[in-house]
Structure 1
Amino acid sequence: MPSNQSPLGALPSRFRRQRLLIVGCGDIGSRVVSRMPQRVQVLALTSQASRVPHLRALGCTPLMGNLDTPSSLRRLAGLAHRVLHLAPPASDGWSDRRTKALVQALRSRGALHSLVYGSTSGVYGDCQGAWIDETRAVAADTTRAQRRVDAESHVRFLGRSAGVRASILRIPGIYAPDRPGGTPQVRLSKGTPVLQAEEDVFTNHIHAEDLARACLLALWRGAAQRVYNINDDTQLKMGDYFDLAADLYQMPHPPRVSRQAAQTQLPVTLLSFMSESRRMRNTRMKQELRLALQFPTVAQGLVERVQRKRA
């Protein structure tokens, strides 16, 4: 395309560099930054001054702002060409005021090309072990998941009203050997029980490295107003997942208990995960984002940890 027809081509070279804004630059955001080509300038929103040196060390340009204070987000308007939104909603209520505030700030100017939002597979609710794809209607069973449903609606609104290519990633359990709490080892060491086989639930997983790669691909390849399941090929029930990990770590299998017994032994948050069963299809992720999984199964991802420890 001739430079005089390109939205960026007629500008001086220093202004033609693509700018990516990461909102919620934690573990996954940091992995995305490490994979970002040099031609992209990465901006990272943070509300904590103490994180500024860390973000700079990653190669980001830190921006101070707080999703709970909409007035602090005004400077984001027109600042970035692409946005990766990985910040969680607030921990109360049924709506996500943080994503709403971010969307309002971003749509006030027209520079934004694409936005990728990291949602949760929890928006599907309990599917009783059925295979599901992205056409499955949301049926959030918890306030935590309902806040994500609300956040998705704000992202879609931005896409429709401002002509932004908005993609939603529905993400299950994230694991990785180098991620804080990213393996089942701590839970196994505590002897936390799992459900007996006949009452157990199917769970879905994604390695943190594969998730970071999916985020990066979605920023450039994600279709407009499109939802993507981001999960590996594992088909395991929760108890079998922990048994597999225990075998790899040479630790005892967790005790199996009935669902009734679990009600008195486990915290509410953990029980909520044991109340939802589904098997997510990832065909759209593979075909449209063209993501080739580095860790297609949790067995491969967990083995990496064991091999690294033995080496």
Structure 2
Amino acid sequence: MELCRISGQSAFKSGHLPRNSATRMTGSPEVKSPNRIFIAGMGFVGKALAIDLKKQGWGVSGTCTSITKKKKLEEEMGFDMYLFDAYEPDVATIDVMKFHTHAVVSIPPIPGVGDPMLQHEQLLKKALLGGNLQWLCYLSSTSVYGDCGGAWVDEDYPTNPTREVGKLRLAAEKGWLHLGQSLGLSTKVFRLGGIYGPGRSAVDTIIKQETLSKTQRMRGDKQFTSRIHVEDICQAIKASICASSSKREIYNIVDDDPAPREAVFEYARYLVDKKWPGWIKHSSKQRESTATVMKDGLLGEKRVCNAHLKNELGVRLLHPSYRSGLQSIIDQMDKPFAT
């Protein structure tokens, strides 16, 4: 997807530049791209988005929590990185957000703390007021719907999270929408399904012959799990950036096929065995029974609808089903590996 540009606007005012960008510029007083994005939380999704946008000429900055990762993202990928500590935030890290035209928040809430950035809401508001930021997106989760008895749910379906993670997500959604609206920004919330992609999928788990965690085994009993490939998350974000006329604040970002976890792993085993016969020697590790796992309340059964993603943002999913997504992942692998 070719991204739109902000016509006639520079990403910076009064000649200010983010710290790292200024030091990297080779004597030129102007920034090449009028669009700059700040990604709070350069994790699996944030990193994929950063790589995608940088290829399209965007300036990219973001946060991480370790000096080692910061150095790697700066030196190997050319991003402008800042350390962020949820408990002792650097004011300069928050302040630099105002020099960007767009921002994506991809930091999960912390039990007992809530959203790590929103706990410094007044500091954020002061930093962003009068800055260049025009568009803000918070990456949430479909866990905010709670258990819906397997019903199809869209963005207007009542939220009723039963577990703490869902309650924290819902509180963060409301907080970011309120902050964005108070600053006059185009503010969006993306409720993501289960995220997967290269290096983070059922195929990877099987190839590494990893034992499923307690949480993974609990999910094995679910009849429906909505998923989304990281590539489709990236194209949804880009579509939203370009869809300036969109009035909707919240979008479900999921594929077309809410399927049981076991069905996904069965297909992943099939793909691995087809490409590398005999590699799966201990598949029982992935088949561990969920019977001995105590259920933690409701399983959150629901089928999440993505109609608004398609009809309003015009997104045509690259991977409408886990089958397409897993096939794409294994096609990119040259040989099996073990860790």
Q: Which amino acid aligns with 1:87?
A: I
What is residue 286 of structure 1 aligned with on the other side? Answer: 310
- CA shift at 1:226, angstroms? 0.9
> 2:71 maps to which residue?
53
Q: Give the structure-2-normalised TM-score.
A: 0.75
Where does structure 1 lack aligned partners over 5 or more consecutive residues?
Answer: 264-270
Q: How many angstroms does 1:51 deviate by?
A: 2.2
SS in 2 for 1:116: strand
Letter in 2 for 1:214: A
Identity of aligned residues (%): 22
Alpha carbons 2:107, 2:116 under 8 Å: kept: no
Larger displacement relative to structure 2 (246-255 or 72-81): 246-255
Q: Following TM superposition, by how much is the alpha carbon of 1:116 offset from its aligned partner in structure 2, in angstroms?
A: 0.8
1:196 shift after superposition? 11
Measure how far apart 1:45 and its partner are: 2.2
Cα drift, residue 227 of structure 1: 0.6
Q: CA deviation at 1:145?
A: 1.4
Q: Which residue of 2 aligns with 1:78?
A: 98
Q: 2:319 is matched with which residue?
A: 295
- Offset of residue 305 of structure 1: 3.3
Q: What CA distance in whole angstroms lies between the structure 2 residues aligned with 1:104 and 1:96? A: 15
Cα distance in 2 for residues equivalent to 1:239 and 1:8? 49
Q: 1:156 aligns with which of 174, 177, 180?
A: 177
Question: 2:37 touches 2:104 (CA, 8 Å); kept in 1?
Answer: yes
CA positional deviation for 1:44 = 1.4
The structure 2 residue matched to 1:22, chosen from 39, 42, 45, is: 39
Distance 1:159 1:128 in 2: 33
8 Å CA contact retained: 2:190, 2:250: yes
- Give the deviation of 1:185 after TM superposition: 1.9
For 1:200 and 1:66, locate their aligned partners in 2 and report how far apart those are by CA, in whole Å: 35
Quick check: 1:18–1:81 contact (8 Å CA) kept in 2? yes
Between 56-65 and 226-235, the greater mean CA deviation after superposition: 56-65
Classify 1:106/1:248 alpha carbon distance in 2 versus 1 (closer, same or farther; 3 Å): farther
TM (norm. structure 1) is 0.81
Partner of 1:235: 258
> Cα deviation per residue 1:116-162 (whole Å; 9 max; x = unaligned)?
11101111111111101010121111111111111101111122211
Is 1:114 matched with 2:130?
no
| CA shift for structure 1 position 182 | 7.2
Q: SS in structure 2 opposite 1:117?
A: strand
For 2:308, give the aligned amino acid: R
Please report how far the alpha carbon of residue 300 of structure 1 lies from its aligned counterpart in structure 2 after TM superposition.
1.2
Q: CA distance change for structure 1 residues 144 and 187 in 2, over 3 Å: closer, same or farther?
A: farther
Q: 1:149 & 1:80 partners in 2: Cα distance? A: 26
- Of 131, 150, 156 in structure 1, the residue corresponding to residue 152 of structure 2 is 131
Specify which structure has the higher proportion of strand: 1
Where 1:109 maps in the other structure, the secondary structure is: coil
SS in 1 for 2:98: coil
**Which residue in the other structure is 1:268 paired with?**
none
Rounded Cα–Cα distance in structure 1 between residues aligned with 2:79 and 2:126: 21
**Aligned mate of 1:185, from 206, 217, 234:** 206
Q: Give, in whole Å, the separation in 1 of the partners of 2:58 and 2:145.
A: 34
Aligned equivalents of 1:243, 1:219: Cα separation in 2: 37
The 8 Å contact of residues 97 and 103 in structure 2, kept in 1 or not, is answered as no
Residues 44 and 55, structure 1, Cα contact 8 Å, conserved in 2: no
Q: Secondary structure at the match of 1:159?
A: helix
